[in-house]
Amino acid sequence: MKCVSPLLEVVEDGLKAWKNCLVGYFIEKKLPFSLVNNIAMHIWGNRGLLEVLVNENGFYFFKFSDDEACSNVLEAGPWLFAGRMVILKKWHPRLILSKDSYSKIPVWVKLFNIPHEYWNEEGLSHIASAVGKPLYADSLTESMKRISFARVCIEIDASCDLDDSFDLFMGDSSNPKLGENMEILVEYQWKPKICTECKSFGNYITNCPKLKPLLSPSENVSAPKLKQEWRRVNKRDAPLACCSQACVEPFPFGSLKDDEVISTCNT
């Protein structure tokens, strides 16, 4: 087999074009390039973003002005584009483009039917904890300029069910007979698919590393093939308690002083 060996100067010159670059991908299907490019330029343009590229396998390459700009963007994450989490890593020579699986990801959630007396930081934190770990609310929720629903970014766990509703008990918890339940409706801006075997986001039942050894040859042949050739790695975290049950100790979420860190399409 023929082999070529470019001069070191050639390689060093090529490295200059990519040394200040972040590589990213979205869990599940990729978003349209025009949408990703517009959002990235809007939120990272003043952080040194110069150019956005994409390959046929759904990897996005974000080129920045310098290494400090790359580090600042990574440290300010996680980032959501149109409600979907983008996984970012620093580009380096011989980087293997691979998609990992995750057991927890942030998702924007709308909560309906919240009684007015619970419209404060502690009350919303208690309620949002029934879905997952609340991270922060949007500005309209914090300022109570929109009370038809609360919009909260919540870290959800793949081991828990993504329920469309849950009950809020209103009354004295020490005496359930003196209170009543209010049904809280849940709307997910994006409801990611979950592998039922390894309990993670980013894997599918047809290519789950946990299930694959158990499949027969005929099952493997009939399974749909993925076009991209990434190696999938399962990074399973320790499971949380079932999210369908409200947390006894709510997770507090802070103010929106870093609201620009998380970019979403306001819907």
CA-to-CA separations, 83 to 54, 105, 190, 263, in angstroms, rounded = 19, 11, 6, 8
Calpha distance 141→60 (Å, rounded): 32
Q: Can you give the pLDDT at residue 258?
A: 36
Domain 12-97 fold is Alpha-Beta Plaits (3.30.70)
Alpha helices in 3-146 (DSSP H): 8-16, 33-44, 67-75, 121-128, 139-143
Token match 């949007």: residue? 138
Q: Which two tokens mark 266? A: 């306001």
Calpha distance 255→114 (Å, rounded): 20
> Could you tell me the sign of the dihedral formed by the alpha carbons of 82, 139, 78, 105, in that order?
negative
Calpha distance 99→83 (Å, rounded): 19
Q: Can you give the pLDDT at residue 257?
A: 31
Q: Can you give the pLDDT at residue 4?
A: 80
Q: From the centroid of its chain, how far is CA 21?
A: 21
Torsion of CA 74, 76, 81, 87, to 10 degrees: 30
Q: Can you give the pLDDT at residue 127?
A: 95
Return all residues near 1 (Cβ < 8 A) that are at least 6 apart.
none
**Per-domain residue ranges of the chain:** 12-97, 102-230
Q: Can you give the pLDDT at residue 204?
A: 52
Helix, strand or coil, per DSSP, at residue 267: coil
CA-to-CA separations, 22 to 85, 198, 247, 263, in angstroms, rounded = 15, 28, 36, 17
CA-to-CA separations, 185 to 12, 92, 110, 122, 128, in angstroms, rounded = 56, 45, 8, 19, 11
Q: Can you give the pLDDT at residue 216?
A: 45
Provide block-wise average pLDDT over 10 residues at a time, the chain (267 residues): 81 85 86 94 96 94 95 84 86 84 82 94 93 89 92 86 90 70 91 71 57 49 42 37 33 37 33
Q: Which two tokens mark 251? A: 């997770």
Q: Can you give the pLDDT at residue 138?
A: 87
Strand-pairing partners, residue 188, are: 109
Token match 């828990």: residue? 160
Q: Is-contact 127 114, C-beta < 8 A?
A: yes
pTM of the model as a whole: 0.56
> Could you tell me the sign of the dihedral formed by the alpha carbons of 127, 132, 133, 136, in that order?
negative
Angle at 79 between CA 87 and CA 185, to 5 degrees: 110
Q: Can you give the pLDDT at residue 203?
A: 53
Q: Is-contact 185 165, C-beta < 8 A?
A: yes
